[in-house]
Structure 1
Amino acid sequence: MLKIKNLSCNYGKNLVLKDINFNLNQGENLCILGSNGCGKTTLIKAISGLLNYSGNIQLFNKEVKNIKPHELGKFIAVLSQNSNVYFSYTIFDTVMLGRYLHISNNIFIKPDKAQVDYVLYCLESVGIADLKDRELSTLSGGQMQKVFLARALAQEPKIIILDEPSNHLDIKSQMELFVFLKEWTKDGEHTVISVLHDISLAVNFFNNGILLKNGEIIFKGNLKNLSSKDLLTTYDFD
């Protein structure tokens, strides 16, 4: 499903990722670990088609940089760690934004019943259908994360990518998010790729992982095999 070969990324003259290589099969989940500034967010931005890169990122045998954003959005949905709200849409309208990839006619036309029903289904799936008429600005951090998750589901993606999704969430909200995503991937057709800083959270919810240090992979495989030495040389525990 996802094949990354000799991937490198830079910001100006600053090389951030160096010769990254790994494959991910459909239905497998992956956690990307590493300390601040190691290249985790850069990696998922490249996979999401948001950054230029050298090397290859193939998604279902298509090079990511050659896939039009409108089409890429049908494969990949991204949950950012940025929870700022710039427009106080209702919850329903926010989730409907995820459906416009599947609406071929004019986006200014009122969505038909099928689109409305699918948005309601997504809201029900994450347990916030009763909030559909509330404005985003009135929600807690955990509720808002569920709204953005519902919007991601509305895209009908094969992959959901999360960038530090546990930031700003209490423990209960963190657990609810990852329990839902674990269930979502049980059909073998869906995949979660998550950037995490919390090692214990990663081990509890993911089998496969990669550990980045200074833009390079120093570990990849089952997280149960991740050694204390690798962690101690990657993270600053002082």
Structure 2
Amino acid sequence: MKLDIIDLNLSYGSTKVLNGLNMQAKPEITALIGPNATGKSTLLKCVAGILKPTGHILLDGEEILDKRNKELREMISYLPQEIPDLTTLTVMEVVLLGRVNSLSWKVSEEEIDQAYGVLEDLGLDDLAPRPMTELSGGQQQMIYVAQSLVRNPSLLLMDEPTNNLDMQKQLEMFELIKGVTAEKEITTLMVLHDINLASRYADQIVVLRDGKVFCSGPAEEVINEDIIQEVYGVKSTVHFHQDGFPQIVPLCSVRCLPWQKRKDQGLAHQGSVDFGQQN
């Protein structure tokens, strides 16, 4: 399923968040990267139908901004950065919510088998009967990843899916997403702050700045020291892994904060307290 985003605009009050954004994504992993407050999460919410921007969002040439939520759910699976509190449910119930709108709906044996299958793929099937309250934050995050996959979506939207995950779980999750995306020809669009993970696993990287696309392409084209400094304001070194993808080592910020200026000028902080000997 091909995703086309054309001249997308959205404001929060007087603040322009998306500013004539244009991009494309196809059945592969596309990573959205960029500094904070550049519109990455807002863009996912627009594609998911949560926010109503102006412009066009096309799936295989069909406008989706006018579709009802029910129709959207059949095509799209969205994993938000802030997960709703479902800790009163069991793991299996949370995963099954990816297949039905409400647990009061009749759940088929096939749907239960699909839920177990996804949990098994993630090595989490032993957690199925346990309450979510007994799980660590990282385990809960993996369960929500399972919930997003059990829908068998054509378009998979993931906002910071590695939140709360340790190094091993991050790699395992990305290997699964990479495999499922290729096997089922899913268009996967995810927001990431870890540039090195994006470089390793994404087929395409879209760099956002000021609510629009700054540049896009495969990692070897967009991950370099000049772009990192211009977009993030960070000096870095970039080297290539033996498998061919670039990896970044951040060195320092190019911005000088007020405390650094005072330090360089040898000035004390105004209003500072003397913690020396007191009478």
Change in 2 beyond 3 A, CA 1:39/1:185 = same
CA deviation after TM superposition for structure 1 residue 139, in Å: 0.9
- How far apart are the structure 2 equivalents of 1:145 and 1:203? 22
Tell me the percent identity: 31
Asked whether the equivalents of residues 93 and 103 of structure 2 are also in contact (C-alpha less than 8 Å), the reply is: no
Q: How far is the alpha carbon of 1:86 from its aligned partner?
A: 4.6
Supply the AA of the counterpart residue of 1:230: I
Bigger relative CO (Cα 8 Å, ≥ 6 apart): 1
Residue 44 (structure 1) aligns with: 44
Question: Which of the two has higher C-alpha Rg?
Answer: 2
Change (3 A) 1:184 1:120: same
**What CA deviation, in whole Å up to 9, does each residue of 1:89-119 have, x standing for no partner?**
0001111111115xxxx96254232222222
TM-score (norm 1): 0.91
Alignment map for 1:2-17 (pairs within 5 Å): 2-17=3-18
**Structure 1 match to 2:108:** 112
> How far apart in 2 are the matches of 1:173 and 1:147?
12
Q: TM-score, normalised by structure 2?
A: 0.78
Find 1:234's aligned residue among 231, 235, 238. 231
Kindly indicate whether the alpha-carbon contact (under 8 Å) linking 2:9 and 2:17 is maintained by their aligned counterparts in 1: yes
1:216 paired residue among 188, 212, 216 = 212
Number of residue-to-residue matches in the alignment? 233
Matches of 2:201 and 2:61, distance apart in 1: 28
The answer to whether the Cα contact below 8 Å between 2:86 and 2:132 also exists between their aligned partners in 1 is no
Q: List alignment gaps of at least 5 residues for structure 2.
A: 235-252, 254-279
What is the CA distance between 1:132 and its match in structure 2? 0.6
Query: Aligned in 2, Cα 1:119/1:207: closer, same or farther, shift over 3 Å?
Result: closer
Superposed displacement of residue 131, structure 1: 0.7
Cα gap change, 1:135/1:232 in structure 2, threshold over 3 Å: closer, same or farther?
same
Q: Output the amino acid matched with 1:183.
A: G
Q: 1:107 to 1:169 in 2, by over 3 A?
A: closer
Q: Which moved more, 1:173-182 or 1:56-65?
A: 56-65
Paired position in structure 1 for 2:90: 90
Q: Does 1:185 align with 2:186?
A: no
Task: Supply the AA of the counterpart residue of 1:95.
Answer: V
Write the letter of the residue equivalent to 1:79. L
Structure 1: distance between partners of 2:13 and 2:189 = 27
Instruction: Give 1:199 deviation, angstroms.
Output: 1.0
- C-alpha distance in 1, partners of 2:103/2:194? 40
Mapped partners of 2:112, 2:50: distance in 1: 29
> Which structure 1 segments of 5+ residues have no match?
none
Letter in structure 2 aligned against 1:23: Q
Residue type at the aligned position of 2:226: K
